[in-house]
Structures are given as C-alpha cells and as structure tokens.
Structure 1
C-alpha cells in the first residue's frame, strides 16, 4: 500500500461533501470537473478505495446521490447492447488491433458513447459523478475526449475522474508515459 496515496485518498470524502465542491463554487464559472491523478502502479489501491468511498457515501450521506462509472464495464455494456462485443473479439483475433480500433471508432465516437453514459446513470437524478477505468479502456477510449464531450452533457454537476498517471493542471499523461497532447482544463481534486 502506498501511504502517501492513502493520505490523499482519505481527503476525498471531505472534499466531496463540501458545499464549495457540490455547488462548483469558486471555480470562476467553470464546470466542476476534477481529476484525482495517481501512480498507475497503485491502481488496485484506488479501485479498492472507490468501493469503500461509494459504500461510505451511500450509508452515511444517503441524501447525496453519487454514481460511479467504471469505464471498462460501461464500454462492455455499450458494446453488448449493440451486439458488437463478439464481432469485435473476432475481428481483433483475425485482423489485429489496428483494424479493430478503426472498426469501432464510429460506434464509440463520443457523440454516441457519452450520451449513452448519461442515460445509463440517469444523470438528472445524480449529484456527483465518479469515473474510473481510464487505463483499462485505453486506447479505445481517451479520457480527454470523454471529458470534453461530458462538459456539454453534465451542466454544473461535479465530476471526478480517477486517472492512472499525471495531471499537470493543463495536460494528462496516461501511465506517466503517454502524453495526451491536448490541453484540458480541470481541477486537481487533492494535490
């Protein structure tokens, strides 16, 4: 267990429960998008903490509607619902990764996938959105593309992206190795 990471994780509930976070106050009229970056090698610790966090919030703060989206599960459900999963597996086996990525680029375009996510989580009845699984779905889905599309769909509901890598305050570097080459504006949840 990474004790420094655990210290940062332990600060999350207080942050999520603050009025400033829930109302996106003090953000200069920007959307309340937050990133919790963490060492990729500690992904399992973060996953375990997310289970604890969601349970804690449901039990002790049931007035707050918090939804956790695991992108890998959401992607699988999305592909299953469109009968693409088996076809995708067969294509990857027969034609390889590049052919698969090209074939599913259309169905997984953010104009289709992001609205699907919002519908699945019943966004109108949520107060906070937590997203994890970014590393599990790369390179099929890219975090900055998803966040950019969600800006228009979430309104002022706060969102926290748990990110296995580094966030500089302007750019994302997945696994601390793969730069996004895109400017992205969000706030660090816990520095």
Structure 2
C-alpha cells in the first residue's frame, strides 16, 4: 500500500467521529456529504480498511450508529427483489452490455435506487451512512445522479462516499478517467 494512502486511511476513523462531520457544523448550510477518494487500483485495500473502521467504531463508539451500504450489493438486491437478476444476466450474455444497460435504466433509475438505499440504511436510526461499491455498480448507476437523488432523502444525516477515482472539490473522475462534469455539494473527508 502506498504510504500516502495508508496515512489517509488511518485518518478515517477519527474523522467519522468528529463532531463537525456528525453534525454538519460549519458547512455553510451545505448538506453533510463527504467523499473519500482513492486510487482505483487500491480498491481491495480500501475495502479491507473500511471493514476494519466499521468494526472499530462499533466497538469503540456504541453510541455512533453507522450504516454501511455497498452500492453494487444493493443493485443486486433490487434486481433479485424484482425477479430481474437472472433475466438480466441472460440478456447480457445474449444481447450484450448495451441492451442490458438500456433495459435496466427504468428498474435502476437513480430515484428508485436512492429510495432503496434509504430503506436499507435507515438514516433516522443511524448517525451516518457509508457508501461503497461505486465502481462495481458503474455504469448501471452513475454516482452524480444517485448523489443528487439522495440529497432530499438523507434527513440531515452525513453520507460518506468511498470513491475509486478523484475528487477535486467540484467534480468526480471515476477510475481517474471518466469525468462527469457535474458540481457536487460535497467535502473531502480526508485531504
């Protein structure tokens, strides 16, 4: 693991416990959305560390209720609930990615996924929501449309997105290659 990434990963647990992050204080009326960006090639290390952080917080801070949602797993769950997963896999094999993407646009519309995420995470019962699996869910789910759909649903609870790419304080570049050219009202969790 790269020393700079290791140093940033080691700051996550403290930042998640920071009263300003938990309360949204000092954000100038912005919503409490945070991005932890990282090199996509370090996905496995970030996943492992995120699991460690969630376990650590559960042991250290019983008062801090953290919901961790993996977006890819949520998408699979939504497709299973709608009895679409097997059909989607068959369509992908027979007709390709383009047809699959077009067929799933409706069932995986960002507003539907945002509502499914809120139902799974239950922000009212948690102090914050951690969201991972962004890269695995692409291109079926686009992070900018999902984040926009989540804004009115979060009820003031902080959302921390673990993002395989880069965030410059204004826009996201998935995998450090794909720019979405959308402005985000989010803050870097760890510089």
Same-fold call, TM > 0.5? yes
Q: Deviations over 1:103-151 (max 9, x none)?
A: 0000111121111111122221011100011110110001111111110
Gaps of 5+ in 2: none
Q: Name segments (4+ residues, structure 1) moved above 2 Å.
A: none
Q: How does 1:1-191 map to 2 (within 5 A)?
A: 1-191=1-191
- Structure 2 distance, partners of 1:9, 1:111, is 31
1:120, 1:163 → 2: CA distance?
20
Separation (CA, whole Å) in 1 of partners of 2:36 and 2:122: 23
Q: Distance in 2 between matches of 1:121 and 1:189?
A: 20
Instruction: Report how far residue 181 of structure 1 moved.
Output: 2.1
Which blocks of at least 5 consecutive residues in structure 1 are unaligned?
none
SS of the residue 2:173 aligns to: strand
**Deviations, residues 48-98 of structure 1 (Å, cap 9, x unaligned):** 001100000011101110011111111111110110100100111111111
1:159 Cα deviation from its structure 2 partner: 0.7
- The separation in 2 between residues aligned to 1:29 and 1:185, in whole angstroms, is 10
TM-score with structure 1 length normalisation?
Answer: 0.98
- In angstroms, what is the RMSD of aligned CA positions? 0.8
Q: Give distance in 1, aligned partners of 2:51 and 2:129.
A: 14
**Residue pair 1:54, 1:66 contacting (<8 A) in 2 also:** yes
Q: Quick check: 2:135–2:164 contact (8 Å CA) kept in 1?
A: yes
